[in-house]
Amino acid sequence: MAVQKNIIVVGGGIIGLSCAYFLEKSGHQVTVIDASKMDGGASYVNAGYLSPSHLVPLAAPGVMKQGIKWMFNPKSPLYIKPRLNPDFIKWSLAFNRSCNATHVRKSIPVMKEIAVLGRDLYHQIKQEEGFNFQLEKKGLLMLCKTEQALHHEDELAQIAVKEGLVARTISAKEVQEMMPDTTLDIVGASYFECDHHTTPGEFMREMKTHLLKKGVIIRQEEKVVDLNTDNGKITSVITNKETLKADEFVLAAGSWTSTLSRKLNLKLLLQAGKGYRIQTTKETGITYPSILAEAKVAITPMNGFTRFAGTMEIAGINHSINKKRVDSIAEGVSKYFPNVHVTSEEKSDAACGLRPVSPDGMPFIGKSEKCKNLTIATGHAMMGWSLGPSTGKLVQEIIDEASLSMGIDAFHPDRKF
C-alpha cells in the first residue's frame, strides 16, 4: 500500500472517475471536482465500445486531406471548422505532420496494449465490486456497402490478427444469420471478436455511487478557475467556491484540460471533437455492435434501447446541435438497415459530447517536466471510453511510483509533434 496522499482529480468523466477509483483503492484520499452536474457529455453519450480493434489513431495518412474535402459537406463524418485561432492553427499543423504511415506503425501496438488493458479492467472492476452494468462480449461488426470498403476493413482485420487479436472477414449472409430479426443492405463485414460493449450511463452511475461509499469527495457544479503554484509544484486549486489544497493533482478535464494547463505554462495541443448520439427504444433487431464503415456511424444495442452515434466535429468548445449532422447519422442507419427509421422525435432528442483530441490521436498520460505533482490524463479522442480504466490504473501507478502496467513513452505530455 502506498503512502496515503491527498489527491485532487479535476474532471469527473470516465477518465477522472477511473483515476479516482484506482487512487482510492491504493489508499489515497481523493477529491473529484467537475464543473458540470456529471450526468451528460462524452462519457454518457458515447457508443459504449471497449475496442482493441481501434488500432489506428485518428491521425493517419489521408485524414487531413479528406478532412479538407469534407469541410464543404455539412453532413460529413469528419468536420474541421477553419478559424484564425492560434491554438487551432498550431494543432492543425501538428495534426497534419502526424498523419503519416510511420506514426501509425509505431502507434498500433501501443494502442492495442492500452485498449486490451482497459477492456480487461472493466471486467475486473465489475467482478471485484459487484457492479451490474451491461458488459457483453459480442464483438464488433464493421458493415460495408462497397467492395472497396470491405477490402480496406479486411486489411485492418489482418493487422489486428498480427497483433494477436481475434478478427476475420465474413459475408453478408453470415451477418444476416447473426441478426435474423433485422434487414441488412451490405456486401460483407469484418468481425472483431476481441471487442466488448457497455451501456455507459449505467457504469458511470454505479462508479459514482461506489466512490462516494468509499469516501471519495465529489464536488460537482464546481469549476476550477486557477491554480496556485510554488517552486514547480501546485499547492492548491481555486474554484468558483473555495480554495483546496492537496499533495498531488490529476488533470483529467477532457476538452477543457488545455485551458487549465496554460496556467502552468504547459501548452497542451488539444481540440474538442464533438460527437452526437440518437437513440430509440423501438425494436430494431440489431443485436451486435456495428459500425457502418462508409457512413462512420456506430450502433450499439444497449440496455433498453439502441444507440446510434457518430461524427467528429472539430469546431471549438460548444454544445450546439447541428441538425444536419444528426440527419446524416439517421440517414446512414437506414441505408444499411432499411427497416430501421429514426423518427423526427428521436432526432430532436439528440445529444452531443466533446472528446479531447490530441494532434497525433494518442492520449496524454503522465507527468510534465513543468510541474512535479501534476499528472495529466486527457486527449483520448474517440477512445476515451475504452481507455478509461487503463488510464486510471496508469495514473495511480505513476503517482505511487509503482511498476507500470505498460510503457507510456508514446503518451508523454511533453512529446513533440
N-terminal to C-terminal alpha carbon distance within the chain: 37
CA 373 to chain centre: 25
Cβ neighbours of 180 (radius 10 Å): 8
CA–CA distance, 9 with 20 (Å, rounded to integer)? 7
Q: What's the predicted TM-score (pTM) here? A: 0.96
- Stretch 82-106: mean pLDDT: 92
Question: Each residue of 138-158: b (16+ CB within 10 Å) or e?
Answer: ebbbbbbbeeebbebbbebbe
Average pLDDT, the chain: 95
Torsion of Cα atoms, 165 then 166 then 167 then 172, to 10°: -160
Confidence of residue 1 (pLDDT cuts 50, 70, 90): low
pLDDT tens figures, 253-269: 999 998 889 889 898 99
- The answer to whether 225 and 238 have CB atoms below 8 angstroms apart is yes
| Residue 198 pLDDT exceeds 70 | yes
pLDDT tens figures, 113-139: 999 999 999 999 999 999 999 999 999
pLDDT tens figures, 217-256: 999 999 999 999 999 999 999 999 999 999 999 999 999 9
Confidence of residue 144 (pLDDT cuts 50, 70, 90): very high
- Grid cell 423526427 — which residue? 344
Burial class (CB in 10 A: 0-12, 13-18, 19+), 132: exposed
| Residue 319 pLDDT exceeds 70 | yes
Domain range list for the chain:
6-411
pLDDT of residue 77: 83
- Grid cell 494518442 — which residue? 362
- Stretch 295-308: mean pLDDT: 97
Locate all alpha helices (DSSP H) within 71-163, ordered by sequence: 86-98, 101-129, 147-162
pLDDT of residue 65: 76
pLDDT tens figures, 48-91: 999 999 999 888 888 877 877 777 777 788 888 888 899 999 99
pLDDT of residue 389: 98
Tell me what percent of the residues of the chain surpass a pLDDT of 70: 100
For residue 317, the number of C-alpha atoms closer than 13 Å in the C-beta half-sphere is: 12
Closest C-alpha to 104, from 56, 153, 51, 58: 56
Q: Supply the CATH classification number for the domain 6-411.
A: 3.50.50.60
- The answer to whether 375 and 398 have CB atoms below 8 angstroms apart is yes
Indicate the range of 36-40, 83-87, 166-170 predicted with least confidence. Answer: 83-87
| Residue 145 pLDDT exceeds 90 | yes
Beta strand 167-171 pairing with 374-378: unpaired
pLDDT tens figures, 350-380: 999 999 999 999 999 999 999 999 999 999 9
pLDDT of residue 67: 74
Concatenated DSSP letters for 263-275? GGT-----EEEEE
Closest C-alpha to 195, from 89, 309, 294, 115: 115
Cell matching residue 313: 466535429
- The answer to whether 288 and 179 have CB atoms below 8 angstroms apart is yes
- The answer to whether 254 and 19 have CB atoms below 8 angstroms apart is no
Tell me what percent of the residues of the chain surpass a pLDDT of 90: 88
CA–CA distance, 256 with 268 (Å, rounded to integer)? 11
Residue 149, amino acid: A
| Torsion sign over Cα 157, 160, 162, 166 | negative
Confidence of residue 417 (pLDDT cuts 50, 70, 90): very high
CA–CA distance, 216 with 213 (Å, rounded to integer)? 7
Locate all alpha helices (DSSP H) within 163-254, ordered by sequence: 172-178, 200-213
CA–CA distance, 51 with 385 (Å, rounded to integer)? 9
Helix (H, G, I), strand (E, B) or coil at 85: coil
- Grid cell 488493458 — which residue? 117
